[in-house]
Structure 1
């Protein structure tokens, strides 16, 4: 198995599509997916403008719950992580689908509870872990610090076993296994190529 770390933000539709693609390709390619968090809100906050990403002035993990549309989702994601990597992955997929397919708000408990049910997690344990807010905030802060040190600026960012890392935007949802595998192999081939290709960007009209 090859471990691939994926940095995600539940607000981001590109992160959702990237995770869905990796999830479909993983069994075919022997990928072990590890989920981590990066906050677009923190990265783009005016108080952090011009500052190194690893030393932000405004930190999401320190903000009141009601001040951010994504903070509750991040804390819930860490609560789901307490039930294991596989459970965390299922929860993340279901929360993304509820928000981006079903247009459900991220910061409502009903959305989180439904994601738990769809993912097959233990709801009682999940709620107990979510109520341990101090621990979940510390875990989130650690994820965001590591993301900052890595230089993550967008989601999804994939970190390959080789250590190569890159952000890639997927404009379409890909759930067909053969196509997902082809796209993943194309992406990794570009990323690991000895030419050290850094940017490919289509023009916009």
Structure 2
């Protein structure tokens, strides 16, 4: 599941883009305006703007994993791009109103795969950012590609070791209270500031939040091209509010 059930937001098809309308700027920037930005850098005689992209994701979401695979390739090619991954809990978005407490405050919630993944991610984030990023991707890969049950003893610790984390420190941090409250604050910020309703949602420097489903993840040259198309829509075509494909194009 990648977005809210009916009542929280309409279901989109497997190739779709949607912009969220809260705290969004629809300014159209000229190249001169972009390169007047103090973040502008030189590359190959041309000016480019350093870009920080925030991605709201859920570890259990297959589309979040596809976005992670795609953006790893984009970052390898686009040195001005940095990506910050922030938690967004789909089970909270789809929580029945009569359940009362938010998902991250419910008794026994750490027995669920969703909560364990998010808690482990927050524990890893207390260490080196690069190691955290390796751990996040390894955890997503374990869930969606290797199909490992991260609740089995030793799986989370093995992923932490493979990512280069200090495993002893990671284990101690994982026992600390408040990890899921951090996740809850990220989720609430996403809803209140960017109207996030599903994952993955990409927040561009303009403040525009874009919900995007990719299946499969673009690779090789297509990865950068898809990102540039999305970036152009975001920065230069403010009139576009939603793109929806009713079916996948056939080759």
Q: TM-score range by the shorter chain?
A: 0.7 to 0.9
Deviations 1:31-84 (A, max 9, x none): 111110001110011118xxxxxxx95412202235633001000000011013
Q: Which of residues 98, 101, 121 is equivalent to 2:145?
A: 101
Closer, same or farther in 2 for the Cα pair 1:117/1:196, shift >3 Å? farther
- 1:2 Cα deviation after fit: 1.8
- 1:142 Cα deviation after fit: 1.4
Separation (CA, whole Å) in 2 of partners of 1:188 and 1:3? 12
State the secondary structure of the residue aligned to 1:200.
Answer: strand
Separation (CA, whole Å) in 2 of partners of 1:109 and 1:174? 34
Separation (CA, whole Å) in 2 of partners of 1:164 and 1:109? 41
Conserved in 1, the CA contact under 8 Å of 2:53 and 2:205? Answer: yes
Conserved in 2, the CA contact under 8 Å of 1:34 and 1:85? Answer: no
Equivalent residue number for residue 95 of structure 2 = 45
| 1:44-83 pair list within 5 angstroms | 44-47=94-97, 57-63=100-106, 64-66=108-110, 68-83=112-127
Q: Which has the higher helix share?
A: 1
What's the TM-score once normalised by structure 1's chain length? 0.87
Separation (CA, whole Å) in 1 of partners of 2:72 and 2:101? 32
| 1:38-187 pair list within 5 angstroms | 38-47=88-97, 57-63=100-106, 64-66=108-110, 68-132=112-176, 134-149=177-192, 150-176=194-220, 178-187=221-230
Equivalent residue number for residue 35 of structure 2 = none
Q: Which has the higher strand share?
A: 2
Bigger CA radius of gyration: 2
Closer, same or farther in 2 for the Cα pair 1:21/1:43, shift >3 Å? same
Closer, same or farther in 2 for the Cα pair 1:101/1:148, shift >3 Å? same
Separation (CA, whole Å) in 1 of partners of 2:81 and 2:97? 37
- 1:175 Cα deviation after fit: 3.7
Conserved in 2, the CA contact under 8 Å of 1:79 and 1:129? Answer: yes
Deviations 1:94-123 (A, max 9, x none): 001111111112433433122212211111
Separation (CA, whole Å) in 2 of partners of 1:122 and 1:194? 45
Equivalent residue number for residue 51 of structure 1 = none
Closer, same or farther in 2 for the Cα pair 1:111/1:67, shift >3 Å? closer
Equivalenced residues, count: 196
Equivalent residue number for residue 31 of structure 1 = 81
Closer, same or farther in 2 for the Cα pair 1:86/1:68, shift >3 Å? same
Separation (CA, whole Å) in 2 of partners of 1:68 and 1:12? 14
Structure 1 unmatched ranges of 5 or more? 49-55
- 1:22 Cα deviation after fit: 1.2
Closer, same or farther in 2 for the Cα pair 1:175/1:108, shift >3 Å? farther
What's the TM-score once normalised by structure 2's chain length? 0.72
